[in-house]
């Protein structure tokens, strides 16, 4: 019992320690563009492999880090309150953008999955990829996806968004704080929002926080409906072909 508690505490603490060490190294010039989560993930994988530690054993303690995602997401409400006037002044454009973002994220994933002849279970698992992890996993469970695959898709989407979203927007000469915040939050959820916070773009963070929250709610509503519609259309097409 005691050894079990000790091992859980050890792996929990180790996860934090590795992340903060990697965060320090990511400030150095050669690694400056690399998000700490990628480097820390690679280090943890290498350590588990080198010491022959089973992932389930490591995750018995490390899984508690995941529980902090909820409070971390709620903490993003602070810049939201500080910039609420901006939200009220642009509410029509913002809310239309939320709906458009949620719809496009789901439809584009389904179309690409179908184009590459991907299994339906994988397509379904990928649908909530632009939603923050705790919510995306629950959506995946509800619609019949694979939660582990969904979590991986969410993390990859967040990393790519955090790294390249601002560069892509800059390429198209988009420099409006509302447009940047909405795009990053809707597409790259908490990780994209965190990248804005690191640059101290608090107005963008406020919009991005609202975006990731509303898009998560809309995705939870739209995904089951669109999946049912997709399956119904697929059934009709199969009947017509036969």
62 & 118 share domain: no
Within its chain, how far is the Cα of 17 from the centroid?
23
Looking at residue 179, its pLDDT comes to 87
Q: Which residues contact 69 (CB under 8 A, 6 or more apart)?
A: 132, 133, 134, 190
197 & 221 share domain: yes
158 & 215 share domain: yes
Indicate whether 72 belongs to any domain. no
pLDDT tens column, 78-96: 766 776 777 777 777 777 8
Q: Report which of 205, 197, 150 is spatially closest to residue 180, judged by C-alpha positions.
A: 205
57 & 167 share domain: no
d(CA 26, CA 24): 5
Looking at residue 47, its pLDDT comes to 92
pLDDT along the chain (242 residues), means of 10: 72 91 85 79 91 87 78 68 72 81 88 86 90 85 88 88 86 87 87 80 81 85 85 75 68
Domain count, the chain: 2
CA atoms within 13 A on the CB side of 94: 26
How wide is the angle at C-alpha 238 spanned by C-alphas 234 and 241, nearest 5°?
135
Looking at residue 49, its pLDDT comes to 92
d(CA 33, CA 110): 31
Q: 0.85 exceeded by the pTM? A: no
Q: Which domain holds residue 43?
A: 4-67
26 & 53 share domain: yes
Q: Report which of 69, 12, 64, 21 is spatially closest to residue 43, judged by C-alpha positions.
A: 21
Looking at residue 34, its pLDDT comes to 76
171 & 221 share domain: yes
Indicate whether 208 belongs to any domain. yes
User: CA dihedral in degrees (90, 95, 98, 100; nearest 10)?
Assistant: -110
Looking at residue 79, its pLDDT comes to 65
Tokens (6 digits) for 22: 């990697």
Looking at residue 1, its pLDDT comes to 40
Looking at residue 2, its pLDDT comes to 38
């Amino acid at each position: 019992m005691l050894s079990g508690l000790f091992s859980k505490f050890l792996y929990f603490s180790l996860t934090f320690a590795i992340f903060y060490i990697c965060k320090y190294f990511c400030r150095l010039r050669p690694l400056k563009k690399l998000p700490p989560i990628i480097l820390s993930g690679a280090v943890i994988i290498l350590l588990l492999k080198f010491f022959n530690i089973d992932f389930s054993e490591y995750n018995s303690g490390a899984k508690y880090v995941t529980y902090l995602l909820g409070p971390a997401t709620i903490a993003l409400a602070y810049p939201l309150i500080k910039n609420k006037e901006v939200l009220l002044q642009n509410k029509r454009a913002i809310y239309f953008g939320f709906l458009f973002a949620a719809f496009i994220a789901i439809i584009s994933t389904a179309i690409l999955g179908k184009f590459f002849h991907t299994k339906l279970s994988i397509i379904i698992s990928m649908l909530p990829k632009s939603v923050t992890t705790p919510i995306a996993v629950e959506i995946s469970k509800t619609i019949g996806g694979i939660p582990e695959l969904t979590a991986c898709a969410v993390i990859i989407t967040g990393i790519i968004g955090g790294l390249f979203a601002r560069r892509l927007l800059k390429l198209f000469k988009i420099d409006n704080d509302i447009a940047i915040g909405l795009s990053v939050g809707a597409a790259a959820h908490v990780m994209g929002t965190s990248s804005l916070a690191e640059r101290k773009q608090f107005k963008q963070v406020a919009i991005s926080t609202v975006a990731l929250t509303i898009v998560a709610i809309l995705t939870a509503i739209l995904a089951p409906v669109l999946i049912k519609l997709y399956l119904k259309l697929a059934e009709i097409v199969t009947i017509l072909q036969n």
